[in-house]
Amino acid sequence: MATINVTDDSFQSDVLDADKPVLVDFWAEWCGPCKMIAPALEELSDELADKVTIAKMDIMENPDVPGKMGVQSIPFLVVFKNGEPVAQQMGAAPKNALKQWLESHV
């Protein structure tokens, strides 16, 4: 399962109403560290497909949700469970560190 793209309009149904945990990667096209972690997140979306959905939200195209969430720096990763944010991490990290962090919260 590949990552999904989430918009301001689909955030409620794709993330908050999801039946399993969702990791949202708030990113932008111009963000170097965002591009660095993208392949790792794609791989993790396959490896952990039965446990978590990995979603990407472009903050330039979708300013409402990131604004409400207080996103000030990217990449900004937030794990949602049952419609609530339960963990967040700012900045890029190696795949194994991302996987360990993610697995500890899903």
- Provide the annotated active-site residues: 31, 34
How deeply is 65 buried, as exposed, middle or buried, from its count of CB atoms within 10 A (0-12, 13-18, 19+)? buried
Task: Please provide the DSSP assignment of 59-103 as one string.
Answer: TTT--HHHHHHT--SSSEEEEEETTEEEEEEES---HHHHHHHHH
